[in-house]
Structure 1
Amino acid sequence: MSQLSDSLSNSKSGSAVKYQGRKTSRAGSELRRRLILEASLRIVIREGVRGIRHRAVAKEADVPLAATTYYFKDIQELINDTFTLYAEQSLEIVTQFSRRLYEPLENSDGKTFVEAMNSAEDMSGIIADSMTQYVVEQITQHRDALIAEQAFRYEAILSPHLRKLGEVHKLALIQKLTELLSLMQSPQPVEDATIVISILHRIEYEGLLVEPENLDIKAIRATLLRQLSLMFNDQSRA
């Protein structure tokens, strides 16, 4: 098993934030609760967080109105658990990306991970290629998820409780990337992870403002390569 796989396997499992609604003990109840949350997330994508209302969610999920009030005591709890569902799915995508990012580093040109680290230029290029592929997939294939993220981010400005959940989610993302950068022997993995995530968020936001076919993939790679080159060049001089 690779170093990254070991690291990911040893990480705490589960979502970064916890569901707050009524706990279920039966499979059928949990399925209905999940249907309600997935319907609520679809509404966020179409209308924003303010579109979440018990009646609207019940109609979207095709369940009785009483079901939404049974599982969630109020709208805020429903919003919080909808964000938790989004965060859970988002972190799973990031985990898959982390594993995929490490693979070419470990296997490139038959080099071991440590040998690959000896070339900062090669390392920056490999990571830039993988990150570019990831962010393009996010913008083109997971566009709805990015729209939901932007909606939750805006609502967090207005909602102190959602702000706290958003901060926990952000820290979980930083932790996952920090683990990877630590394996790459970054002297400041937390700071580097924070910078990279900020850049990825900006690229994703700007990508939502254009049609997918007009996405400037070369510009995205150039931006990521520039930042990664600075990071690894600084490392080589440390």
Structure 2
Amino acid sequence: MLAIKENVTVKRRSKGEQTRHNILVAAIDVLAKNGIKGTTHRAIASHAGIQLSLTTYYFKDIQELVHQAFKLNSELVTQLTDFAWQQAFDYLESIGKTQLKKVSVRVQVREQCAQLATEYIINKVSERSTALAVEQLLFTEIQTTPQLRELANEYRNLLLMPFIQLCSYFDKDNAEIDAEILFTIFTQLEYKNIMLPADEIDREAIYQQVNRVIGWIMKVK
């Protein structure tokens, strides 16, 4: 239910718009592989398999190209994760807020949510590792590149919103505080496992951690 599946409608683009988009997609890959210092017009053109003149035609300023690549990556991740989260909210709505007040129901919901959260994290790490690496780079780079700070803050707030919505089902008064804690745990688990091959990811360890923190938020032992 929380698996990230691509369900984003792609609008038909003109040839120029498509070329620009392809350059940004290539830049995302290069950022993930080389970091900002290694993301140059030449590296992007080589990765995209296009002439160098095309990247400089559409993006004369490499800083603007990098900024737009970060922005596109953030938009794509947000769209995909929003779709994944909606399925979880549909599940909680089907139970109803009255039933969620019962401890016995919460125990079952905690188990289900922990399993779904585990699948969500593993899917994001294994299927969206490039996007995740660029996300991590964006949050790291704001320490030395203030121009990216506004974009990073906006992106983080968008990522945080579904966590707040989830936590509001269980404790509306403390939803934002609980969401920050849950978001931090999820992010740490994602970044910790990002470099591991799929068969080396410790599913049980991830499950135990998310199960414990979700249970704490739900006030279920």
TM-score scaled by length of structure 2? 0.84
Q: Deviations over 1:11-56 (max 9, x none)?
A: xxxxxxxxxxxxxxx7111101001001111111221222211122
Q: Given the alignment of the two structures, is residue 32 of structure 1 paired with residue 19 of structure 2, yes or no?
A: yes
Matched with 1:69 is: 56
For the residue of structure 1 that corresponds to 2:87, the secondary structure is helix
Q: Given the alignment of the two structures, is residue 98 of structure 1 paired with residue 85 of structure 2, yes or no?
A: yes
The residue correspondences of 1:58-207 to structure 2 (distance < 5 A) are 58-107=45-94, 111-118=95-102, 119-207=105-193
CA distance in 2, matches of 1:226, 1:29: 50
Q: Deviations over 1:58-80 (max 9, x none)?
A: 22223332322232231110110
Contact 1:44 1:52 in 2 (8 A): yes
Q: Given the alignment of the two structures, is residue 221 of structure 1 paired with residue 215 of structure 2, yes or no?
A: no
For the residue of structure 2 that corresponds to 1:51, the secondary structure is coil
TM-score scaled by length of structure 1? 0.78
Q: Deviations over 1:189-228 (max 9, x none)?
A: 2222211111111001111243321222111111111111
Shift of 1:105: 2.9
Contact 1:105 1:126 in 2 (8 A): no
Amino acid at match of 1:35: N
CA RMSD of aligned residues (A): 2.2
Aligned length: 207
Contact 2:100 2:170 in 1 (8 A): no
Comparing 44-53 with 33-42, greater Cα deviation is found at 44-53
Shift of 1:121: 2.0
Contact 1:104 1:126 in 2 (8 A): no
| Structure 2 residue ranges without an equivalent (≥5) | 1-12
CA distance in 2, matches of 1:117, 1:81: 45
Q: Deviations over 1:92-111 (max 9, x none)?
A: 1210221121233344xxx4
Report % sequence identity: 27
